[in-house]
Amino acid sequence: MGGAKNCPETPRQKMIGMMYLVLTAMLALNVSAAILNGYMQVDDSLHATINSVENSNKVLYARFDAAMSENQEKTREWYEKAQQVKMQSDSLYSYIQNFKDDLVRLSGGAVDRKTNEVVETDATVRQMKKQDDTNIPSQYGLNEGNGAVLKERIVAYREFMNQISNGTKTSELNYTFNVDDRYDEEQKENVTWENSLFHEMPVCATITMLTKIQNDIRTEENNIIAWLENQTDAGDLRVNKMNAYVIPKSDYVIEGGHYTARIIMAAIDSTKKPEYYVNGQRIEDGIYDIVARGVGEHKFKGQIGYTSPDGATEMLDFESAYTVGEPTVTISNTEMNIMYRGFDNKFNISVPGIANEKLRVDVQGAAVSRKGSLWIIKPGDGSKQVVVSVKADLDGKIQPMGSQTYRVKQLPDPSAFFVAGGKSYREGSVPKKELTSSESYLEASYGEDGILDLDFQIVSFTLAAGNKLMDSKSGKLTQEQINYIKGMRSGEMLSIMSVRAKGPDGKIKALNAIPLTIR
User: Is the pLDDT reported for residue 474 higher than 80?
Assistant: yes
Residues 6+ apart with CB under 8 A from 240: none
Q: Between these two residues, 462 and 330, which has the higher pLDDT value?
A: 462
Lowest mean pLDDT among 48-52, 126-130, 169-173, 496-500: 126-130
When pLDDT is cut at 50, 70 and 90, the band that residue 29 belongs to is: very low
Does the predicted model carry a pTM greater than 0.85? no
Count CA within 13 A, CB hemisphere, residue 487.
Answer: 10
b vs e for 451-487, b when ≥16 Cβ sit within 10 Å of the residue's Cβ?
ebebebebbebbbbbbeeebebeebbbeeebbebbee
What single-letter DSSP state applies at residue 10? P
Backbone angles phi, psi at 177, to 5 degrees: -110, 50
User: Is the pLDDT reported for residue 6 higher than 50?
Assistant: no
Lowest mean pLDDT among 237-251, 275-289, 395-409, 432-446: 237-251
Helix (H) or strand (E) holding 149: helix 146-164
- Residue 188's pLDDT is what? 74
CA distance 169 to 176: 11
For 279-298, the pLDDT digits (tens) are: 888 888 788 888 777 777 78
User: Is the pLDDT reported for residue 4 higher than 50?
Assistant: no
Mean per-residue pLDDT for 146-159? Answer: 94
- Residue 89's pLDDT is what? 95
Mean per-residue pLDDT for 366-393? Answer: 86
- Residue 399's pLDDT is what? 83
> Residue 306: which of 316, 296, 291 has the closest Cα?
316
Count CA within 13 A, CB hemisphere, residue 310.
Answer: 2
Torsion of CA 353, 356, 362, 368, to 10 degrees: 150
Mean per-residue pLDDT for 242-267? Answer: 63
Mean per-residue pLDDT for 49-53? Answer: 92
- Residue 104's pLDDT is what? 85
- Residue 5's pLDDT is what? 43
Mean per-residue pLDDT for 117-138? Answer: 73
The interaxial angle of helices 146-164 and 203-234, nearest 10 deg, is 20
User: Is the pLDDT reported for residue 258 higher than 90?
Assistant: no
Count CA within 13 A, CB hemisphere, residue 339.
Answer: 32
Mean pLDDT of the chain: 81
- Residue 340's pLDDT is what? 83
CA distance 176 to 189: 23
- Residue 213's pLDDT is what? 94
Count CA within 13 A, CB hemisphere, residue 297.
Answer: 4
User: Is the pLDDT reported for residue 423 higher than 80?
Assistant: yes
CA distance 322 to 69: 38
User: Is the pLDDT reported for residue 206 higher than 60?
Assistant: yes
Lowest mean pLDDT among 23-27, 443-447, 513-517: 23-27
b vs e for 161-180, b when ≥16 Cβ sit within 10 Å of the residue's Cβ?
bbebbeeebbbbbbbbbebe
- Residue 255's pLDDT is what? 46
Lowest mean pLDDT among 52-66, 159-173, 411-425: 411-425
Instruction: Report whether 208 contacts 43 (CB < 8 A).
Output: yes
What single-letter DSSP state applies at residue 93? H
Q: Between these two residues, 181 and 17, which has the higher pLDDT value?
A: 181
When pLDDT is cut at 50, 70 and 90, the band that residue 92 belongs to is: very high
When pLDDT is cut at 50, 70 and 90, the band that residue 185 belongs to is: confident
**Cβ–Cβ contacts within 10 Å for residue 215, how many?**
22
Mean per-residue pLDDT for 252-273? Answer: 60
Mean per-residue pLDDT for 39-49? Answer: 84
Instruction: Report whether 105 contacts 120 (CB < 8 A).
Output: no
When pLDDT is cut at 50, 70 and 90, the band that residue 203 belongs to is: confident
> Residue 319: which of 385, 380, 263 has the closest Cα?
263
User: Is the pLDDT reported for residue 95 higher than 60?
Assistant: yes
What whole-number percentage of the chain has pLDDT above 90? 29
Q: Between these two residues, 138 and 120, which has the higher pLDDT value?
A: 138
Q: Between these two residues, 299 and 233, which has the higher pLDDT value?
A: 299
Residue count (the chain): 519
CA distance 150 to 96: 8
Q: Between these two residues, 275 and 326, which has the higher pLDDT value?
A: 275
When pLDDT is cut at 50, 70 and 90, the band that residue 121 belongs to is: low
Mean per-residue pLDDT for 113-119? Answer: 64
User: Is the pLDDT reported for residue 238 higher than 80?
Assistant: no
SS3 at position 170: helix
- Residue 90's pLDDT is what? 95
First to last CA, the chain: 28
> In the beta sheet, which residues pair with residue 182?
191
When pLDDT is cut at 50, 70 and 90, the band that residue 254 belongs to is: very low
Beta strands in 132-188 (DSSP E): 182-184
> In the beta sheet, which residues pair with residue 428?
516
**Cβ–Cβ contacts within 10 Å for residue 274, how many?**
19
What whole-number percentage of the chain has pLDDT above 70? 78
- Residue 470's pLDDT is what? 92
CA distance 438 to 343: 33
What single-letter DSSP state applies at residue 354? B
**Cβ–Cβ contacts within 10 Å for residue 282, how many?**
11
